[in-house]
Amino acid sequence: MKISNEFKIGVMAIVVISLTFWGYKFLRGRNVLKHSNDYYVRYADIEQLAVSSPVLIHGFSVGTVSAINLDKDMKTVIATLNLDRDVKIPADAVAMIMSTSIMGGKAIDLRVSGPCSGDGCAKPGSFLEGRVKGIFDSLLDKGENGTLAKVKENIGDILNTLGDSLTSPNSNSEIAKTYTQLSALITNLSSITGTLDKSMGSYDRHLNNTLANVEAITGAIAKNQDKIASSISHLESITKQFDESKAGANAGALITDAQNTVKNLNATIAEANKSFTQLSTVMKDMQNGKGSLGKLLKDEGLYTHTLATTKNLELLLQDFRLNPKRYVNVSVFGKKQKAYELPENDPAMLNDTMH
């Protein structure tokens, strides 16, 4: 009997369609070639449980999850379990969602109290109780949980012993000695910083005293500036009178020298004013701790030397005010300059006597 090509094509189409249907159902977790029963479980959260996830009893596969649907109340999820018909499930069985690995694989573990018969077994199409098991509870069984508790207790004892060995003063370990030395070092550093704070306070007082003395000197110069200007004006008047009198070549030369002296003195006063202005600026910077001089003022010896120099400058200016003839030598017609007479109450001599 000859088989037509149309018949062959029809048979092949039926086979392909059947295999496709079986493969689709198999991928969906249902084996159409094997008799099975469906059970339902309601969960508040399925923890990313997927269709075709295995259903296990004591680690043995008895079926798969064939469908997952959201309940009508939108509050729970219903999972359909397709189990082998030969497996009898007790009515009080618990369908526990568990993690099969730390990578996120899920499965359903059926917790059964034992075999069942008759009305004690769950009927196909009925609902089972559903629960979710944590990842650590899934990866560790009860025996392993007890072992983990013992390990945790032993680690706690080890840490306590280690802490005692580190902090106990009677310990002979190198770590304990190092800990003690570090404690002593920190105490010494605290003492050193306290001493430095006191020293810096003393240096600040010395710096303030120095600045006060400099301000007193500049104030004295400012107060005597009118007298210095008056002396210069008087010298200019004298030179002008000599110039008008035309008393001879010697007098003219003397007047010229006097004028040059006055100009030099004016230039000196201007330079002195400029120097004191710059000195005031420098002192402000020194008080603020700027520059090398601000740092050098921390030296007690430099402070003492500066104070002595300031005192000598004050005595020099006072002697210049009291005895200008000692510094400006004006001789008219070759007249001999009167000898310098030491004042009775010379401040410099009084100062030396006091010292």
Q: What distance in Å separates the CA atoms of residue 346 and residue 319, rounded to the nearest whole number?
A: 8
State whether 7 and 21 are in the same domain. yes
Domain boundary among 139, 158, 181: 139
- C-alpha torsion 156→162→168→174, nearest 10: 180
Least confident piece of the model among 54-63, 139-148, 265-274: 139-148
* Tokens matching residue 99: 């993690």
**The residue to which tokens 């110069």 are assigned:** 221
Instruction: Give the HSE-up count for residue 113: Cα atoms under 13 Å, Cβ half-sphere.
Output: 9
| Assigned domain for 178 exists | no
Least confident piece of the model among 146-155, 161-170, 216-225, 311-320: 161-170
| Assigned domain for 179 exists | no
State whether 347 and 336 are in the same domain. yes
Q: What distance in Å separates the CA atoms of residue 122 and residue 40, rounded to the nearest whole number?
A: 11
Phi, psi dihedrals of residue 68, rounded to the nearest 5°: -135, 125
- Reported as a single tens digit per residue, the pLDDT across 8-21 is 788 788 888 877 86
Task: Tell me the residue length of the chain.
Answer: 355
State whether 205 and 123 are in the same domain. no
State whether 310 and 237 are in the same domain. yes
Specify the higher pLDDT residue, 352 or 80: 80
State whether 261 and 222 are in the same domain. yes
Which residue(s) pair with 84 in the sheet? 36
pLDDT for the residue numbered 122: 92
State whether 121 and 246 are in the same domain. no
CB proximity list for 247: less than 8 A, separation 6 or greater: 333
How many C-beta atoms lie closer than 10 Å to residue 6's C-beta?
8
Specify the higher pLDDT residue, 85 or 237: 85
3-state helix, strand, coil split of the chain in percent (to 5) is 60, 15, 25
Please state the rounded mean pLDDT for residues 198-205: 72
Element (H, E) at 21: helix 5-27
pLDDT for the residue numbered 39: 95
State whether 18 and 95 are in the same domain. no
State whether 270 and 335 are in the same domain. yes
Range of the domain at 196: 191-354
Would the pTM count as exceeding 0.75? no
Instruction: Give the HSE-up count for residue 53: Cα atoms under 13 Å, Cβ half-sphere.
Output: 24
State whether 209 and 336 are in the same domain. yes
Domains in the chain, number: 4
State whether 98 and 10 are in the same domain. no
Pairing, β 127-132 against β 60-70: unpaired
Element (H, E) at 145: helix 142-167
State whether 71 and 41 are in the same domain. yes
Instruction: Give the HSE-up count for residue 75: Cα atoms under 13 Å, Cβ half-sphere.
Output: 1
pLDDT for the residue numbered 94: 95
38: helix, coil or strand? strand
| Assigned domain for 177 exists | no
Instruction: Give the HSE-up count for residue 40: Cα atoms under 13 Å, Cβ half-sphere.
Output: 11
Eight-class DSSP state of 68: E
How many C-beta atoms lie closer than 10 Å to residue 138's C-beta?
20
- State the pLDDT confidence band at 310, using cuts at 50, 70 and 90: confident
- Reported as a single tens digit per residue, the pLDDT across 279-290 is 777 777 766 666
Least confident piece of the model among 5-9, 95-99, 132-136, 203-207: 132-136
How far the first Cα of the chain sits from its last, in Å, is 151
What's the Cα-to-Cα distance from 25 to each of 39, 131, 265, rounded to whole Å? 17, 27, 119
Percent of the chain with pLDDT over 70: 67
94: helix, coil or strand? strand
- Reported as a single tens digit per residue, the pLDDT across 64-102 is 998 999 999 899 999 999 998 889 999 999 999 998 877
- State the pLDDT confidence band at 220, using cuts at 50, 70 and 90: confident
Q: Is 64 exposed, middle or buried (0-12, 13-18, 19+ CB in 10 A)?
A: buried
- Reported as a single tens digit per residue, the pLDDT across 22-76 is 676 666 555 555 678 999 999 999 988 998 899 999 999 999 998 999 999 899 9
State whether 245 and 115 are in the same domain. no
